[in-house]
Copies of this chain bind each other. A is one copy, B any other.
Amino acid sequence: MSSYKAPLDDIRFALFDVLDSEATFARLGFADANRELVDAVIDEAARFAETVLAPLNKVGDEVGCKFDPASGDVAVPPGFKQAFDQFVEGGWTGLTNEPEHGGQGMPAALGGVLTELVDSANLAWGNFPMLSHGAVKALETYGEDWQKEAFLKPLVAGTWTGTMCLTEPHCGTDLGLLKTRAVPNGDGSYAITGTKIFITAGEHDMSGNIVHLVLAKLPDAPPGAKGISLFVTPKFKVARDGSVGERNALRCGSIEHKMGIHGSATCVMNFDGAQGYLVGEPHKGLQAMFVMMNSARLGVGVQGLGLSERAYQNALRYSRERLQSRSLSGPKNPDKPADPIIVHPDVRRMLLSQKALVEGGRLLSLHAYSLLDAAEHEADPAARERADTLVSFLTPISKACQTEWSIENTYNALQCFGGHGYIAEHGMEQYARDARITTLYEGTTGIQALDLIGRKTAASQGAGLKLFLGMIEEFAKAHEGDAALAEFIGPLRAKAAEWGKLTIDTLQRAASNPEELGAASYDYLFYSGYVVLAYWWARSVAAAEASPRSQAFKDAKRETARFYFARILPRTLAHKAAIDSGAAPLMAMPAELFGD
């Protein structure tokens, strides 16, 4: 049976020792977010995740959501609703939302911690509150006053939940192709008609209302992506005074049978002249969608992290308990019939890969969430803009790398179990199946890679990259001559210089051939991710040394950093070679020669 224990010590290390969040929260005006309160919130979130959500993870997978074709209703797995009620009662849905909408007004960085704990414990369940978050963000940013008044309080309170209705059968990435129509009703509302697919939490029995944020085209819409508008379209109609009326003309048509996250309802949603209200300006829906999407993308990155953490914990426990064969350098456990498999170098390789990617990834995520706080709350507008530029740059890296690493980590964790990992009993195969969605939804890895090298690098003359390279240089300068860090600072600086040059070289090639951007994108994304993690590992060693933590803690950080620099960071060599080979090896072959 798979267990879960919240990694509180490492979370606190990341927040307080590395990211200096206590001071940051104070500077940004989060008056309540003092150390004592933050500690208490984390403890309570951990308790909830460990004792309420984690035990429901397996039943969620085994029973899944159930669709009733007659009514269009979706029943969530046993226990899911009760857990959601407790979550709502505890005020967790509004942890980071504005107090004026009933939220707790806590920093996004703390929200990131909560997300990790929830997703480690029960990824499928975690999708229900996550989607509300994007809806709240979109309405906060673009909603009319009455919409904020009517929708935000129940969404923040969790008595209602939200969705993002983007994808249609023939279009996912390319939303310009969408066919859903919005026709004015004459009373300020619109009649929404069309079919949306892959709608997470599109229908379920956990909340009083479901607020769909739907992309659709107005009758006078210009063609393509510039003609998309956003509509708020609730399951039960909501009047301008906030009163809730009858069922809206929308209905779940079916739910998908998926590889994993069986406890998460993935719905086909049919809108049949449903009453909706425009959110933001006509034809500017994509802009509003990106507000939802960016927040969701950081969240999906944390889903990868959460799965990796839990898989690692179980792989580590098993590797310490399972006795099999003797150490190559002589018995380590002579009184027992065999040594625990953690003595074997290749098992250690698998475990250390997980540990290095999880603990480094935690910093990548929490730093990105901290930048969201800074982008909103720094006093200096230039500082806000810097934070915004940096988090925009780091969002595709965090989303894509952490989800791809969750594939690798859950693979390695399962592999530590040998054949036992493949059977359902141990829970490891569920993590691998659940992880598989994270590289697909909210923009595939390929889409993140294009976003990073295109919009976030080429289109902004590398503004985000320059800021990150500046962070590396600042850190390196601050520790110049520090013998304890020299083994990391030197290689990190070299990689930073190489990263800059690689970027310039690639953009130069792209100036004469736009395919070069796409051809480099995937490898550039991973190259970037590995250098970012090298920075966080070097900083982790420095922060551990500077902290009053135990020698064991410091040793663990240092040895893991050494492993990372010796065994993971060299993957950049392969990625760089692939980028440098240019577009020709990908583009030269005519499509008809790929096969029959």
Contact = CB atoms under 8 A, between A and B. Distances in A.
A329 B586 CA distance: 14
Nearest to A553: B593
Given A5-B596, A444-B418, A517-B328, A256 B552 contact: no
A484 interface: no
A348 B433 CA distance: 25
Interface in A162-189: 167, 170-174, 177
A589 B259 contact: no
A345 B583 contact: yes
**How many copies of the chain does the oligomer comprise?**
2
Interface stretch (A125-133, A367-375, A421-429, A461-469): A421-429
A450 B266 CA distance: 43
Interface in A529-587: 552, 555-556, 559-560, 562-563, 566-567, 570-574, 577-578, 581, 583-587
B349 A586 contact: yes
A277 interface: no
Interface stretch (A106-114, A115-123, A435-443): A435-443
Nearest to A325: B174
Interface residues of A, number: 105
A100 to B, nearest CB: 36
Contact of A172 (B350, B419, B513): B419
B346 A449 contact: yes
A570 B570 CA distance: 11
A578 B556 contact: no
A193 interface: no
Contact of A519 (B338, B345, B574): B345
A577 B566 CA distance: 7
A563 to B, nearest CB: 4
Interface of A: 5, 7, 9, 167, 170-174, 177, 198, 256-260, 266, 312-313, 316, 320, 323-325, 327-329, 337-338, 340, 342-352, 355, 407, 411, 414-415, 418-419, 421-425, 429, 432-433, 436-437, 439-441, 444-446, 449-450, 513-515, 517-519, 521-522, 552, 555-556, 559-560, 562-563, 566-567, 570-574, 577-578, 581, 583-596
Give 7 nearest A-B pairs by CB, closest first.
Answer: A570-B577, A345-B518, A566-B581, A259-B429, A573-B573, A559-B589, A566-B585
